[in-house]
């Protein structure tokens, strides 16, 4: 009965088996899916916290690290660990860089700093927030790659880490890794390449003959790389690797306590308990798919990518942004008549799930081999959606903000940070309510807009004080005057 109820709940989620969800799930086929479940469940009770008790997990983790290092052209000195996902891999790389910096620089002014493109994954900002670091974000060029000269100028005596992407998630382009690597090596600053998205895809693109810039351990200045096995490695969630050029970098990732009454406590990653299932499933996926399997999955994915790009360019009013280095198709409007978020609204209504992006407004498709089946239907619906939005200018979604990972929108732009905090409080509060963010702004939202428009940043104080309820916001208006 309970399992049936769970299946009914799942059936209400995004449809990823038929390729109608363009992010979040990386699905090869049903046979592989069933194989992964069995591999995962074989080890679902085992705990990687103690590798001496569960030596099987340690062996599988070590082999995943070695296979990943070889794929990314690392030599025998490359070391690393598995993590629960890309965010934890990035957290570990930033933490290791901070610890190394503090040990090397006994005296420094201010916080340790991270220098990265504005397009770097948000997990780097999260890592800096957690670890007390400052991020210096660097502008992008017209091709969405980081401006290398601006990046060089952003580096100073407190720079603990430089980071760049291969490719960056939003627009699917590889930053100039070779140029940055040469600079980082000259300045003796660790340089992390975030290949969480592309690490298990770009190597196979190269083998298929695609001309890509170097992005991995072939670049001398690269000191660490993150890559997600649960993305284009087609493993079960959550499984990622963080790799370092040698132990002189990885050792700073470890945490060791010797004084706890429970005993000496060594921990290689953020997690204490480390579930065995994802480790086992990652090992099994890589072994089962193999080089030939990954090449075939990559070939089908790029067939889908190229068909999507061709189809988008044929639709009047749309353009493809970036999307040159991997399995990303980023679509924007090139006509004032076409509001791209309104187009996404129309596609959502037809059962497609895709991510809105901002700066510039666009939508993002993370393409897999499984999406090849869905490309003709998607392009047909996209063309219809554009025609509908052009014919109905009242659908323009002025003021909305994209929400990464939520496939949703905020109906008032000025109070985005405040409103997102409130959404999170609701989702993780006692009722655990998932909000409906697809509708029009309500009366409460209008009151918030009044405050924001009239009082700017000071309105945030009121919003915090009165917690955005309608009656309390009405109280806030005279208080502000």
DSSP-derived secondary structure letter, 252: G
Indicate if the pLDDT at residue 295 is higher than 70.
yes
Both 115 and 255 in one domain: the answer is: yes
Q: Is residue 375 part of a domain?
A: no
d(CA 402, CA 408): 7
- Where is average pLDDT lowest: 52-66, 181-195, 276-290, 433-447? 433-447
Identify the burial level of 374 via C-beta atoms within 10 angstroms of its C-beta, where 0-12 means exposed, 13-18 middle and 19 or more buried.
buried
Identify the burial level of 361 via C-beta atoms within 10 angstroms of its C-beta, where 0-12 means exposed, 13-18 middle and 19 or more buried.
middle
Indicate if the pLDDT at residue 448 is higher than 70.
no
d(CA 223, CA 80): 11
Indicate if the pLDDT at residue 29 is higher than 60.
yes
Return the pLDDT at 134: 95
Both 280 and 419 in one domain: the answer is: no
Categorize the per-residue pLDDT at 481 as very low, low, confident or very high, splitting at 50, 70 and 90: very low
Q: Is residue 281 part of a domain?
A: yes
* Of 422 and 357, more confident: 357
- Where is average pLDDT lowest: 61-70, 84-93, 320-329, 410-419? 410-419
Q: Is residue 380 part of a domain?
A: no
| H helix intervals, 28-115 | 30-42, 55-71, 86-104
* Of 366 and 423, more confident: 366
User: Where among 288, 320, 341 does a domain terminate?
Assistant: 288
Identify the burial level of 95 via C-beta atoms within 10 angstroms of its C-beta, where 0-12 means exposed, 13-18 middle and 19 or more buried.
buried
* Of 262 and 31, more confident: 31
Torsion angles phi and psi, residue 345, rounded to 5 = -55, -45
d(CA 389, CA 317): 11
Both 62 and 201 in one domain: the answer is: yes
Identify the domain containing residue 420 by its residue range: 413-424+444-480
d(CA 166, CA 172): 8
Indicate if the pLDDT at residue 167 is higher than 60.
yes
Both 281 and 419 in one domain: the answer is: no
Torsion angles phi and psi, residue 251, rounded to 5 = -60, -25
Q: Is residue 209 part of a domain?
A: yes
Question: In 10 A of CB 386, how many CB atoms?
Answer: 24
d(CA 295, CA 342): 37
Categorize the per-residue pLDDT at 460 as very low, low, confident or very high, splitting at 50, 70 and 90: low
Strands (E), 245-307: 255-257, 265-267
Q: Is residue 86 part of a domain?
A: yes
Closest to 101 in 3D by CA, of 139, 74, 128:
128
Question: In 10 A of CB 307, how many CB atoms?
Answer: 18
Both 82 and 226 in one domain: the answer is: yes
As a whole number of Å, the CA-based R_g of the chain is: 24
Return the pLDDT at 257: 82
User: Where among 288, 305, 337 does a domain terminate?
Assistant: 288
In tens, the pLDDT along 402-440 reads: 554 444 444 444 445 555 555 555 654 555 555 555 444
Q: Is residue 101 part of a domain?
A: yes
Identify the burial level of 214 via C-beta atoms within 10 angstroms of its C-beta, where 0-12 means exposed, 13-18 middle and 19 or more buried.
middle
Q: Is residue 130 part of a domain?
A: yes
- Where is average pLDDT lowest: 148-162, 304-318, 387-401? 387-401
Beta carbons of 445 and 467 less than 8 angstroms apart: no
Three-class SS of 105-132: CCCCCCCCEEEEECCCCHHHHHHHHHHC
Cα separations in angstroms, 344 against 29, 68, 87, 397 = 27, 36, 27, 10
Closest to 241 in 3D by CA, of 178, 288, 195, 289:
195
CATH code of 38's domain: 3.40.640.10
Distance from chain centroid for Cα 123: 7
Question: In 10 A of CB 247, how many CB atoms?
Answer: 11
d(CA 170, CA 168): 6
* Of 470 and 206, more confident: 206
Strands (E), 229-358: 240-244, 255-257, 265-267, 318-321, 328-333, 355-357
Q: Is residue 256 part of a domain?
A: yes
Both 61 and 198 in one domain: the answer is: yes
Q: How many domains does the chain have?
A: 2
Determine the 3-state secondary structure of 424 from DSSP: helix
Q: What angle do CA 357, 359, 361 make, to 5 degrees?
A: 50
- Where is average pLDDT lowest: 3-17, 20-34, 176-190? 3-17
Indicate if the pLDDT at residue 465 is higher than 70.
no
d(CA 293, CA 278): 20
Categorize the per-residue pLDDT at 399 as very low, low, confident or very high, splitting at 50, 70 and 90: very low
In tens, the pLDDT along 85-143 reads: 999 999 999 999 999 999 887 666 678 999 999 999 999 999 999 999 999 999 999 99
d(CA 271, CA 47): 11
User: Where among 257, 288, 319 does a domain terminate?
Assistant: 288
Categorize the per-residue pLDDT at 461 as very low, low, confident or very high, splitting at 50, 70 and 90: low
Both 274 and 140 in one domain: the answer is: yes
Rounded mean pLDDT of 449-456?
A: 56
């Amino acid at each position: 009965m309970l399992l049936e109820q769970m299946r009914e709940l799942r059936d209400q989620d995004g449809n990823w088996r038929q390729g109608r969800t363009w992010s979040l799930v990386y699905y090869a086929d049903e046979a592989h899916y069933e194989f992964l479940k069995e591999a995962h469940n074989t080890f679902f009770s085992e705990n990687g916290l103690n590798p001496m008790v569960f030596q099987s997990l340690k062996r599988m983790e070590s082999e995943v690290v070695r296979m990943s290092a070889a794929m990314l052209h690392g030599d025998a000195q490359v070391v690393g660990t598995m993590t629960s996902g890309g965010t934890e891999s990035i957290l570990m790389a930033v933490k290791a860089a901070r610890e190394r910096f503090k040990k090397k620089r006994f005296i420094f002014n201010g916080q340790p700093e991270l220098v990265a493109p504005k397009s770097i994954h948000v997990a780097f900002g999260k890592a800096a927030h957690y670890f007390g670091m400052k991020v210096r974000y660097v502008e992008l060029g017209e091709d969405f790659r980081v401006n290398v000269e601006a990046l060089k100028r952003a580096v100073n005596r407190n720079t603990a880490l430089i980071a760049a992407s291969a490719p960056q998630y939003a627009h699917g382009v590889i930053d100039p890794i070779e140029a940055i690597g040469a600079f980082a090596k000259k300045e003796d600053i660790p340089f992390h390449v975030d290949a969480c998205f592309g690490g298990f895809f770009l190597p196979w693109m190269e083998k298929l003959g695609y001309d890509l810039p170097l992005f991995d351990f072939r670049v001398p200045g690269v000191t660490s790389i993150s890559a997600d096995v649960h993305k284009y490695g087609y493993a079960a969630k959550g499984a990622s690797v963080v790799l370092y050029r040698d132990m002189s970098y990885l050792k700073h990732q470890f945490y060791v306590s010797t004084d706890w009454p429970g005993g000496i406590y060594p921990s290689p990653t953020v997690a204490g308990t480390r579930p065995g299932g994802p480790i086992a499933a990652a090992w099994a996926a890589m072994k089962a798919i193999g080089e030939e399997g990954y090449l075939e999955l990559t070939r089908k994915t790029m067939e889908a990518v190229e068909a999507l790009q061709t189809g988008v360019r044929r639709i009047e009013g749309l353009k493809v942004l970036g999307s040159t280095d991997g399995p990303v198709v980023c679509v924007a409007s090139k006509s004032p008549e076409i509001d791209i978020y309104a187009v996404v609204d129309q596609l959502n209504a037809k059962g497609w799930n895709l991510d809105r992006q901002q700066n510039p407004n666009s939508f993002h498709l993370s393409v897999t081999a499984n999406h090849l089946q869905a490309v003709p239907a998607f392009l047909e619906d996209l063309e219809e959606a554009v025609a509908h939005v052009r014919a109905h200018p009242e659908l323009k979604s002025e003021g909305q903000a994209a929400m990464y990972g939520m496939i949703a929108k905020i109906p008032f732009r000025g109070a985005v940070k405040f409103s997102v905090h409130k959404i999170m409080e609701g989702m993780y509060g006692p009722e655990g309510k998932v909000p409906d963010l697809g509708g029009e702004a309500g009366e409460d939202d209008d009151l918030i807009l009044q405050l924001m428009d009239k009082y700017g940043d000071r309105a945030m104080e009121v919003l915090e004080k009165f917690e955005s309820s309608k009656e309390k916001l009405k109280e806030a208006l005279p208080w502000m005057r």
